[in-house]
A and B are shown apart, each in its own frame.
Chain A
């Protein structure tokens, strides 16, 4: 319990830090960014958007910094993330609300699939060290070095342009109305296949390498030798003794790498124009839509924190040493 409380406190601290960073960044900008934006949009910005921007950049002269900070928190708690000016007058919260499910589905499924797949392959390659599987390592290293988005470009050009097997962009057919209909779901799955395969191929290589090295390290632990001495079945030694211990650090790494994976996944969305948060971020960046960018960053961070918490719970369930009662 103590361990869990410590972790929760840490996540609360991290959430606070991320939110505060979000508050600070725009205020560190030199010059008058709002004027620059007004010029850029040549009077197409409404007064409301300009007000929202002044608040964002902390250019409200009447308010102290502290007051601005309190207001910022107040808005957050009301779910008010400001107004996007590319999708004016839609609120940032609403845009994120629409795109988040797409991202969660794509990212959640692919992350779990690649972690499980990579871990299982890693267990075998690490256990059967010195077999032909080791010959695959250079290939795996090469694949893990390929940027996600470039693999995305490659798969589009092959499987969507060269051979028209999968759609090149979008989340569903334009003619289908989103809803709980079979038509929509099948269309969404069809559109998600290519991005999902791209992400899994990019991500799985890293998990294979990590888990393999962990297996190799753990295999020379005394308790694995004891297990062999006991004449247990190969399967039992590999799974219950070696893999069961090797997976613990791999779960820690999983949590730590989430931030990185999320970054890569967002880019795959951009390449595929997939209607998730990554694509929204891409559009926001292109249009210098600061409120939207910030909202996206905040949501991504909170989602990563939540995923970390889940990884922590998994770790606690798997390692009796963290279950120690105080």
Chain B
């Protein structure tokens, strides 16, 4: 049950085409295992949201995916088998490459296999339709055989799953509080019991109490329903608390990837270290907050070598010349892209 459910390899994303293009995500290799919560951390502009939207092909113009593969491997007898011929057409023995799907296949694939909870609950719900209509239209699209009564019943069930009374089905988004709207979004994301749920800063707009309440609920639901989660946030303390594994992004690349507890105990990359010391931990011993001097790099003028070197307190000679490859660094299947932790070799990831 612990095999990979999503394998991203060599993913590149540009904004714009041709000479004017800016590369926002570079050579990403990342694996999401079945049932785990994978955290994706980084400052704004690090490419973490771009990555999430690219995986689902939802990146708005002028975003363009310029290379790589995003392979989805459905569980044996899992939801993918339920999902009609449209998907099967693209399914080899090795799963589906999302980047190869045509529009109709993509439509059938979406939400059924990967659903999303977006940043900004305020604008994610259509203001002119009721909660019921927005919950059931997914069912209309993906489960055409369901009767209207069954759809309504399912919608009520979904709401109660996230702790909202079923009588709010008739409500419109403007009648709900921010926390409720985000719960509705979560309920919606679970409507088809997908294999993967992508959370993009799902709680940023909410207050701290509400944040944790909603995340706990999600963790509980994951245990019940067994989906995998990619959780994107700039708030690394939330990730430490809720995720199994964390990947840290900087300048469009993954710079470190390890189990949450390993990152917490012993972050290898100086950037991860800095990020970790920019947030107060809610649990555990007190640490000194140091933060990271300087500001994130500009996508159109990325520094040479390791993108972090101008801000790095420990930069050494090769850092400004060559980009370090993501390489194994110690036990627990952890990887890091840093010249401090690798042999001085010209990496070819």
CA distance A253 to B74 in the complex (A): 49
Query: Which A-chain residue is minimally distant from B138 (CB atoms)?
Result: A230
Asked if B292 is at the interface (CB within 8 A of a chain A CB), the reply is: no
Asked if A223 is at the interface (CB within 8 A of a chain B CB), the reply is: yes
Which residues on A sit within 8 Å (CB–CB) of B141?
A: 230-233, 236
Minimum CB–CB distance from B124 to chain A (whole Å) comes to 5
Secondary structure at chain B's binding surface: helix, strand, loop or mixed? Answer: mixed
Residue-wise interface mask of A (230-252) relative to B, using a CB-CB cutoff of 8 A (1 in contact, 0 not): 11111010001100110010000
Asked if B64 is at the interface (CB within 8 A of a chain A CB), the reply is: no
Instruction: Identify B60's interface contact among A220, A232, A234, A320, CB under 8 A.
Output: A220
Question: Could you tell me if A236 and B58 are in contact, using CB atoms closer than 8 angstroms?
Answer: no
Asked if A78 is at the interface (CB within 8 A of a chain B CB), the reply is: no
Minimum CB–CB distance from A225 to chain B (whole Å) comes to 6
Instruction: Identify A231's interface contact among B118, B124, B142, CB under 8 A.
Output: B142
Instruction: Identify B137's interface contact among A229, A232, A320, CB under 8 A.
Output: A232
Minimum CB–CB distance from B60 to chain A (whole Å) comes to 6
Instruction: Identify B138's interface contact among A232, A234, A318, CB under 8 A.
Output: A232
Size of chain B's interface in residues, with CB distance under 8 A? 33
Minimum CB–CB distance from A126 to chain B (whole Å) comes to 14
Residue-wise interface mask of A (67-92) relative to B, using a CB-CB cutoff of 8 A (1 in contact, 0 not): 00000000000000000000000000
**A-B contacts, CB under 8 A, total:** 82
Find residues 303-327 in chain B having any chain A CB closer than 8 Å to their own CB: none
Question: Could you tell me if B60 and A231 are in contact, using CB atoms closer than 8 angstroms?
Answer: no
Find residues 176-230 in chain A having any chain B CB closer than 8 Å to their own CB: 220-223, 225-230
Minimum CB–CB distance from B128 to chain A (whole Å) comes to 5
Minimum CB–CB distance from B287 to chain A (whole Å) comes to 36
CA distance A244 to B138 in the complex (A): 18
Minimum CB–CB distance from B132 to chain A (whole Å) comes to 12
Find residues 281-295 in chain B having any chain A CB closer than 8 Å to their own CB: none
Secondary structure at chain A's binding surface: helix, strand, loop or mixed? Answer: helix
Question: Could you tell me if A319 and B111 are in contact, using CB atoms closer than 8 angstroms?
Answer: no
CA distance A320 to B108 in the complex (A): 30
CA distance A240 to B137 in the complex (A): 10
Query: Which B-chain residue is minimally distant from A224 (CB atoms)?
Result: B126
Minimum CB–CB distance from B101 to chain A (whole Å) comes to 11
Residue-wise interface mask of B (112-136) relative to A, using a CB-CB cutoff of 8 A (1 in contact, 0 not): 1001101110011111111000000
Instruction: Identify A223's interface contact among B116, B124, B172, CB under 8 A.
Output: B124
CA distance A225 to B125 in the complex (A): 10
Asked if B110 is at the interface (CB within 8 A of a chain A CB), the reply is: yes
A interface residues (Cβ-Cβ under 8 A, vs B): 220-223, 225-234, 236, 240-241, 244-245, 248, 318-321, 324
Nearest 3 Cβ contacts at the A-B interface = A231-B110, A222-B123, A320-B172
Given contacts A230-B188, A231-B107, 17 further A-B contacts (CB under 8 A): A221-B123, A222-B123, A223-B126, A225-B58, A226-B116, A227-B126, A229-B111, A229-B118, A230-B115, A230-B138, A231-B106, A231-B110, A236-B137, A236-B140, A248-B128, A319-B127, A320-B174
B interface residues (Cβ-Cβ under 8 A, vs A): 56, 58, 60, 106-112, 115-116, 118-120, 123-130, 137-138, 140-142, 172, 174-175, 185, 188
What are some 10 contacts across the A-B interface (CB < 8 A)? A220-B60, A226-B125, A229-B111, A230-B110, A232-B137, A232-B138, A233-B141, A319-B127, A319-B128, A324-B174
